[in-house]
Amino acid sequence: MGDIYVKNYLFAEPSIFEGVARILDFGNNMSVYNKSSSDDVADEKAIFNDWAAIGDDFRFSIEMYEQEKTTNNIKG
Amino acid sequence: MSKKKQQTISRGKNSNGHEVVSIERRVFSGPLPHPDILKGFDDIVPGAAERIIKMAETQMTHRISIESRVINADIKSSKRGVIFGFIIAILMISAGVIITVEGEPVVGGIIMSTTLVSLVGVFVIGSRGQSKERVEKENKIQDRINLD
C-alpha cells in the first residue's frame, strides 16, 4: 500500500534551481502557496493529512512488526 | 486508505411468530488502520499492540526530524542558488561590459545576452516546475480526501 500522506502539500519544495530563478523574481511571484476555497476546506485537508501521516507511520510499524515476527519465526 | 466492511445478518422469530431479519452493517474508512488489525496482533502476541504503537511513535519522530532536515537543507540550497546565481550573473555581465568597452562589442553582447536569456530561462522553467509540483500535490490530497 502506498503512502496516503502528502508531504508539504502547501508549497513546492525549494531547490538550488529555484534559488537561481529567484534572482529575477522581483515581484515575489515564486512564493505561492496552495490555497483552499474556504477555511473549513483548508482545515479539512490539514487534519486529514496529519492523520494520514500517523496512519502511514502505523502501517509502516505494522509491516516492520510482521517482518520482525517472520524473521524471529525463521530463526527460532 | 484503510477500509473495512462488516455485515451480519441474523434471522429469528418474534413473539408473534413472525420471521424477523436484521441486518447490521459496519463500515470503517479512514487514514488509520482498523483497530481490529492491532487487536489481531495483540491476540496472537500479548503486548504486540503496544509495541506497534511505540514503533509508530518512533517512526513519527524520525519522519518529522527527516522532513525538517530536508526542508532546512532545501532552503539553504535555495539561498545558495540565489547567491551563486547572482555572482555568476554579475561576473558574466561585467565581463560582457569590459569586453564591449575593450572593442569587441559583438562578443560582449553575446556574453551579456546569453547570461540574461539563461537567467530568464531558469526563471521560467523554475516557476513552471514549482507550479506543477504544487498542482500535483493539491490533486493528490484532493484525491485522497475524495477516496475517504
- The residues in B 97-126 lying below 8 A from A, measured between CB atoms, are 119-120, 122-123, 125-126
CA B98 from centroid of its chain's CA atoms: 47
Query: Over chain A, what is the mean pLDDT?
Result: 87
Using a CB-CB cut-off of 8 Å, the residues of chain A touching B70 are 13
Tell me the pairing of strands B2-13 and B19-30.
Answer: antiparallel
Residue matched to cell numbers 553582447:
B109
- For residue A76, what pLDDT band results from cuts at 50, 70 and 90? low
pLDDT tens profile A40-70: 999 989 989 998 999 999 889 999 998 988 8
Dihedral class, residue B13 (left if φ above 0, else alpha if ψ from -120 to 50, else beta): beta
Q: Give B75-109 as a 3 state SS string.
A: HHHHHHHHHHHHHHHHHHHHHHHHHHHCCCHHHHH
CA-nearest residue to B44 within chain A is A69
Predicted pLDDT at B91: 95
pLDDT of the residue at B47: 92
ipTM over 0.90: no
Give the count of domains, chain B.
Answer: 1
Q: What is the mean pLDDT of each run of 10 residues along chain B (148 residues)?
A: 80 87 86 87 90 91 91 90 92 96 95 94 90 93 80
Q: Does B39 touch chain A (CB under 8 A)?
A: no
User: Cβ of B45: how many Cβ atoms within 10 Å?
Assistant: 11
Give the whole-angstrom CA distance, residue B41 versus residue B117: 61
Query: What's residue A2's pLDDT?
Result: 66
**Choosing among B50, B82, B135, which should be mutated to test the A contact, i.e. which has the most A CBs within 10 A?**
B82
Buried (b) or exposed (e) across B137-147, using 16+ Cβ within 10 A?
Answer: bbeebeebeee
